[in-house]
Amino acid sequence: MKKRRFDSPLSAAAVVAAMLVLLVGLNVVGSRLPWRADLTEERAFTLSEGARRILANLKSPVQVRFYYSQSDEAMPMALKNYAQSVNDLLDAMAAASGGRFQVECLDPVPDSDAEDSARLDGVDPQVFPDGDRIYLGLGFSQLDRKSALPFLAPDRERLLEYDIARAINAVTNARKPLVGLLTPLATGPLPGMMMERIPSAGVFFEELRRAFEVREIPFDTTAIPPDIGTLVVVHPRQISEATEYAIDQFVLRGGKLVAFLDPMCAMDTPPGGPMAGMAPPSVSTLAKLLPAWGVRFNTSEIVVDMQNVGHTRRGRAPGILALGPDALDTDSVVTGGVDSLFMALAGAYQGEAPEGLARTVLVFSSRQSELADPSFTQSSPQMVERNFKPSGAEYALAVKLEGEFKTAFPQGRPGTEPSPDPAAEPGLQASSSPTTVYLVGDVDMLFDPLAVAEVPTPFGRPVVVPANGNIDLAQSMVEQLAGGDDLASVRSRASRDRPFTVVKRLQAEAEGKFRDKISELEQGLNETQARLAELERGKDAGQQFILTPEQQEEIKAFRRKEAEAKKELKEVRKTLRREVDALEQRVKWSNILAMPLIVAAAGLLIAFFRHRRQSAR
């Protein structure tokens, strides 16, 4: 009988060795080829169209110096791996620029020309506690203009492409786009210890100033300066009609508007600080303008969404919205790549756009939502959950209006008498050209506690990174209007949170199944505790009040009933948690095991059919 090939152990070992050599060789050769395959769902490692357009439109070369302490043994392995990712992105951008994005890699060892160059470019070393200094930054220049990313923190990897695109814009444009800012909130650092106690939207305002030339407009203004093309309005509480008229005329002359309104801004501290006493809710709207734009914004109601309930340090909070990609318009340039938003006590935009305007909903709740009293959600969140009844409607939390607007002041400037002269200027009555307005139903989302997080670094100084897509969304809106679509489409890719949207939906369904039982048990427990407290108050009233044996037995019975109710409630909640955990585990394990099982099944099928062919010979 003729011996088959590879029957001997030596031959089989030779084949395995040859395959290993071939695999390693292909890996080495493949790593040097310019082709890459990006298999991530959000195309995280593929240049966005906005970045490609920015690079393709470069009129003259941009010099990029990548400072990386490659030869320094103190360089952590995590930063070395990240440096390779940065280098890959720079290579991709250089290839897409047609030679106008020129990258130079420098190793700034101590007392070298490269270290002097880094210092001149504004790239500072990161100093370890033991005194070791390492560099990982970028310097950009075109002609006499310079920009820098002093340190590339791995935590900002999802923002890297945007940071580079913004740096390119900084050196290729002689001036930043001009943006007007109208807000009663403090936009700079708060003095002294108040910084530690009063929340602010400092990071948002700082990011706005980094990207644009920001001109603050007095909150009582009666006219928007004519050179302002884009206006950002943040929490216009108690805005006057005269200022609304100024915004009205600004929009009608073709100005672009981004407005953040709020039915109850929890983060807005009343004048005098947090100890100023019980202040009325901080509410903001554009009461005269919105109806003329076909929009209703009820400041006495907020959106409660049980499918997207957020969590605080105290646990579940029905007034907090933790929104994932399923709550965002993926076709919009400003929301297409934002993966998550965190909103607090947000309002809903309702109504229909009038003729001449197109209305696009950018952010919306699930159908497991309703409108509720904002103060009630804060004082009694358990009661809100207990009485929750889904409306079946998706509420708009952020909308885009575009087209030709009509005035909200057909009689002209408020506070002035109508002129009998027909030639008198009554103000603009309709748009002189199509324009765009963005409306967002929450202001709290811009405040630092909800928008950013501090991540510790080995160098002792924490890095502020996005905790979600809140600031990314706000910046994208402004950039899309003031800086063009290119930079906005890069910004929209930046987010680091990928919530389990399937798990959240299943969790909402599971909680709905147990909600009635929990409500019934809690009501019974409350009634038992109320009756028990009443009897206990009588007992503590003094020796003049003597409990009869029947009353003592009643107290004992109520205590047993209370203990049983607590035990049953605990078991129901434990069952709910087990079911939710089981749902999450099933989704995780299906994701982990699906591909190996498919490969194993394919291998078994191939082996089976091969064995059948060999048996048939």
Confidence bin at 274 (pLDDT 50/70/90): very low
User: For the residues 75-80, what does the mean pLDDT come to?
Assistant: 87
Q: What is the pLDDT of residues 315-331, one digit of tens each?
A: 788 889 999 989 999 77
User: For the residues 197-222, what does the mean pLDDT come to?
Assistant: 89
- Please determine, for residue 495, whether its predicted confidence score (pLDDT) is greater than 50: no
**In the prediction, which pLDDT does 28 show?**
65
> 3-class DSSP state for residue 129?
coil
Confidence bin at 104 (pLDDT 50/70/90): very high
User: For the residues 235-254, what does the mean pLDDT come to?
Assistant: 96
CA–CA separation, 92 vs 47, rounded Å? Answer: 8
User: CA dist 61 to 15, 95, 142, 422, 427, Å?
Assistant: 51, 13, 7, 57, 47
CA–CA separation, 259 vs 18, rounded Å? Answer: 65
**In the prediction, which pLDDT does 186 show?**
87
Q: What is the pLDDT of residues 504-524, one digit of tens each?
A: 665 666 666 656 666 666 666
CA–CA separation, 413 vs 362, rounded Å? Answer: 32
CA–CA separation, 584 vs 353, rounded Å? Answer: 40
**In the prediction, which pLDDT does 496 show?**
46
Lowest mean pLDDT among 81-95, 141-155, 482-496: 482-496
Distance from the first to the final alpha carbon of the chain:
14
CA–CA separation, 326 vs 244, rounded Å? Answer: 34
Confidence bin at 493 (pLDDT 50/70/90): low
Q: Which residue would you say has higher pLDDT here, 465 or 203?
A: 203
Tokens found for residue 428: 């603009």
User: For the residues 544-556, what does the mean pLDDT come to?
Assistant: 65
* Average pLDDT value for the chain: 80
Q: What is the pLDDT of residues 496-509, one digit of tens each?
A: 445 555 556 656 66
Q: What is the pLDDT of residues 169-191, one digit of tens each?
A: 888 887 888 999 999 998 876 55
Lowest mean pLDDT among 29-38, 40-49, 104-113, 585-594: 29-38
Confidence bin at 538 (pLDDT 50/70/90): low
Q: What is the pLDDT of residues 418-436, one digit of tens each?
A: 555 444 456 899 998 899 9
Q: Which residue would you say has higher pLDDT here, 560 or 63?
A: 63
**In the prediction, which pLDDT does 531 show?**
66
CA–CA separation, 186 vs 78, rounded Å? Answer: 38
- Please determine, for residue 541, whether its predicted confidence score (pLDDT) is greater than 60: no
Q: Which residue would you say has higher pLDDT here, 365 or 163?
A: 365
- State whether the Cα torsion 396-401-405-407 is positive or negative: positive
Residue whose entry in the numeric block shows the structure tokens 């290119």: 486
Confidence bin at 305 (pLDDT 50/70/90): very high
- Please determine, for residue 88, whether its predicted confidence score (pLDDT) is greater than 50: yes
**In the prediction, which pLDDT does 194 show?**
43
Counting residues of the chain whose pLDDT is more than 90, the rounded percentage is 37
User: For the residues 543-552, what does the mean pLDDT come to?
Assistant: 60
Confidence bin at 260 (pLDDT 50/70/90): very high
Confidence bin at 195 (pLDDT 50/70/90): very low
User: For the residues 267-271, what does the mean pLDDT come to?
Assistant: 71
Contact 215, 180 (CB under 8 A): yes
**In the prediction, which pLDDT does 275 show?**
46
Confidence bin at 393 (pLDDT 50/70/90): very high
CA–CA separation, 514 vs 4, rounded Å? Answer: 65
Q: Which residue would you say has higher pLDDT here, 237 or 175?
A: 237
Q: What is the pLDDT of residues 552-568, one digit of tens each?
A: 776 777 677 767 766 77
Contact 283, 299 (CB under 8 A): yes
User: For the residues 370-399, what does the mean pLDDT come to?
Assistant: 83
| Strand boundaries in 290-395, DSSP class E | 296-297, 302-305, 309-312, 315-323, 341-344, 349-350, 357-364, 369-372
Report if pTM > 0.75: no
